[in-house]
Amino acid sequence: MRSYILVLLASCFIHAADAQVTIKKTAALDFPCTAYAAPGMEAVDTTAGRGVANNYLTWENGDTILVKFMNNVGSKSIRNKIMQYAKEWEQYANLVFKFVPDNTPVTNIRVRLGSFYDKIGHNSKIGITCNDVPQTKQTLNLDTSDFIDISAYEAEYKKGGEFARFINGRVKDPNNYTNIDFLGDILQFPEADKKWNLKIVGRKARHEFGHSIGLLHEQSYPGGIKWNKDTVYKFYADRFEWTKEEVDNNVLEASDQFFTNGTQYDPRSVMHYDVKAWQTLDGYSLISSMEISEGDKKIIGALYPKNKKVSSLAVAKIQVMNFTKLDVKTDNVRKGLVITPSFDLKTTAVLGRVHFVALLTTEDGKKPIASTNTRYSWNNIAATYVPANMLPSSKISYNKSTKKNLELFFPFREMPALNGQKVKVMFIVYMYDTTNNKFDRVAASSMSSALMMPTGN
């Protein structure tokens, strides 16, 4: 008798004309940014041990950047909101995003408004690498399905009426109707404009346009987060089918690099991801910021100052102090030399550009080893290097304490044939000299002991 009543109740529920289907939350709908590993977007420089992006990728101070939307996609309201949030950066950076009509033949940034179904997600080329992309292709992707205000539609559904009837007409299996199904049906619902979650639109637009003017993921700040790497790999693999490499590129990898520009780690940055406690070794967690943070304003204002054209002004003075160690090791797994110098660096009131350079010399340290390699050379000497901008009046310690925050990597395959020769590594901090337009002012240098190179590199 009891089971009969249950069956009866259940069938009543299913067959009731205006029944409310329960929407099962089966999957996350928000896609994190994949600025460095997006399908259809070439990676930046992902050579192991080199920066995925760097301050060489910033636009010229004062630039007007031409931006357009592609393919006539997107309602006027969503376009206006994206423009509004992108242009917030103009308040702090000496740059202008000039939005031009879709049919403009040549632009710097091209925004593609995609949807959940194409799985391209949110991402952007970094800074001036936008200019390397063919005019027929986008430089910045936004997934507008992510912008749908699901809660507003849930409320609308509960109210009954036209929208509820539309949804009920599309539900095939009321016992298995997921939020993904619901989203798909919302996208199909004919209406003049969607209900947008402007918090999400704001966060994603500010974040991606932040990449487009050279900012990187803040969670990659060296030592900012103590990742529990295995759980991070598993999380992104389960949720978004990301490979280990994609997780490295988007979430973790730059943590061993150091384009920090002398800033402090900024957990409020709009360039930061969400971090769950179980993703970290110390239980640290964070809900990502929706807004441009004070730290974001500071860094972008330093990269694009409003009141001066940095490169035309005084020479930056960078002081290297307490140079305690130049550690050079051969790494047979990564197949290259790993160079980690330890020193403190102090800047004066002017923003300065430096290059950290590691040159190869002969065993006695007297002669540089020549190279024709265009990427791994410095004035035709075999070398690996990393550029960095230094914020005014800041002090940074590199590789002091247990925190590794500066590493140069020199792949064996990028060296001239050395076939078992012994070499030394000379580490030099070069400053930019405005008088001769070259990075040739030596702020510091240090020589390693001799190392044997592998044969047949």
Residues that bind Zn ion (CB under 5 A): 33, 35
Shortest distance, position 207 Cβ to Zn ion, whole Å: 6
CB under 8 Å to 193, separation ≥6 — which residues? 75, 76, 77, 78
DSSP string for residues in 115-169: -GGG---SEE--GGGGGGS-TTS-SEEEEGGGGB-HHHHHHHHHH-SHHHHHHHH
Q: Cβ of residue 229: shortest distance to Zn ion, in angstroms? A: 19
- Name which of 189 and 265 has its Cβ closer to Zn ion: 265
Q: Closer CB to Zn ion, residue 209 or residue 376?
A: 209
DSSP string across 197-253: -HHHHHHHHHHHHHHHTT---GGGSTTT--B-HHHHHHHHHHHH---HHHHIIIIIG
For residues 33 and 95, which CB has a smaller minimum distance to Zn ion in the complex? 33
Nearer to Zn ion by Cβ, of 52 and 358: the residue is 52
* Residue 332 CB neighbours (<10 A): 9
C-alpha 195/C-alpha 197 separation (Å) is 7
DSSP classification of residue 172: S
CB of 127 to Zn ion, least distance (A): 13
**Cβ 131 to Zn ion, closest distance in Å?**
19
The CB-of-380 to Zn ion minimum distance in angstroms stands at: 36
Output 35 or 300, the one with its CB closest to Zn ion: 35
Query: Between 33 and 310, whose beta carbon lies closer to Zn ion?
Result: 33
Q: In this complex, which beta carbon is closest to Zn ion, that of residue 210 or of residue 341?
A: 210
Q: Are 427 and 357 in contact (CB under 8 A)?
A: yes
CB of 210 to Zn ion, least distance (A): 8
Minimum distance of Zn ion from residue 271's CB (angstroms): 7
CB of residue 211 to Zn ion, shortest distance in Å: 5
- Cβ-proximal residue to Zn ion, closest one: 33
Pull the structure tokens for residue 330: 């051969």
Q: How far is the CB of 423 from Zn ion (least distance, A)?
A: 38
Contact 217, 266 (CB under 8 A): no
Exposure string for 27-54, b = 16+ CB within 10 A, e = fewer: eebbbbbbbbbbeebeebebbebbbbbb
Q: Which is nearer to Zn ion, 20 or 46 (CB)?
A: 46
Cβ atoms 134, 124 nearer than 8 A: no
Distance CA 282, CA 270 (A): 23
- Residue 422: name the closest of 449, 451, 447, 448 by CA: 451
Which of 52, 316 has the CB closer to Zn ion? 52
Query: What does the DSSP assignment read for 290-350?
Result: SS--HHHHHHHHHHS-SS--GGGSPPP-EEEEEEEEEEEEEETTTTEEEEEEEEEEEE-SS
- Packing angle, helices 76-87 and 198-212, rounded to 10: 50
